Amino acid sequence: MVDKSRYQKMFPVSWEQLHRDCRALSWRLVESGPWKGILAITRGGLVPAAIIARELDIHLIDTICLSSYNWKDQGEANILKGVDCEGEGWLLIDDLVDTGKTAKIARDMVPKAHFATVYAKPAGRPTVDTFITEVSQDTWILFPWDAGSQFVEPIAQVSD
C-alpha cells in the first residue's frame, strides 16, 4: 500500500509534455544505437515506448509485464511476462523509476539492456542508464492517462 503522506507535491504531465519529453529522451538515445528493439515495461512504459520507437525507427517491440501498482496502491511486484534474452542491444523503456523496486526486477531480467525512463526520482535513479526529468521523491507524477479534464468554477464564483 502506498503511504499517501509521502507525496507532498503533484507534477501533472500533459500529453504534449509527455510527447516532448519522450522525444528528448529519443535524442539522448539515438547516439547510443543502433538498437535491436525495445522492451517496454507494462503498462507505464507502453506509451513512451511507442513514441521512442517512432523517433528511433525501431519496429521490434516486446513487453516485460510487471505489476506492482493498482490504480492507487503499490505492493509487491509480480512478474506477469518475461522475455527470453539478456537484453544486449535492446532498450528497456518505462515511464518512471520511483523507488527502484520494479526497475531492479526488470534490470535483473535483462541485465545487458540499456534502461531508459522519461522521469526519475532519486531513490530509483541509480537503476536506470538514461532519463530526462528528475522529480523529488515526495512528488506524485500525474500521467495524462490517469487524469481527465473537467470544469472548474472561476475563482470569483468560488469565493462568493
Which of 2-6, 27-31, 54-58, 96-100 is predicted with the least confidence, judged by mean pLDDT?
Answer: 2-6
Q: Where are the domains of the chain?
A: 9-158
Instruction: Give the residue-averaged pLDDT of 86-109.
Output: 95
How many residues comprise the chain?
Answer: 160
Confidence of residue 3 (pLDDT cuts 50, 70, 90): low
Q: What is the torsional sign of CA 1, 122, 50, 91?
A: negative
Q: Which CATH architecture has domain 9-158?
A: 3-Layer(aba) Sandwich (3.40)
The yes-or-no answer on residue 98 being catalytic is yes
| pLDDT over 90 percentage in the chain | 72
Distance (Å, whole) CA 136 – CA 61: 31
The yes-or-no answer on residue 73 being catalytic is no
SS3 of 83-105: the string is CCCCCCCEEEEEEEECCCHHHHH
Distance (Å, whole) CA 112 – CA 98: 21
For 22, half-sphere exposure in the C-beta direction (CA atoms, 13 angstrom radius) is 25
Distance (Å, whole) CA 72 – CA 58: 33
* Residue of 21, 73, 84, 94 marked active site: 94
* Residue of 95, 129, 138, 160 marked active site: 95
> What is the per-residue pLDDT across 124-133, written as a single tens digit (0 to 9) for each?
999 999 999 9
Dihedral in degrees, nearest 10, Cα atoms 92, 97, 100, 103: -20
* Residue of 3, 98, 108, 160 marked active site: 98
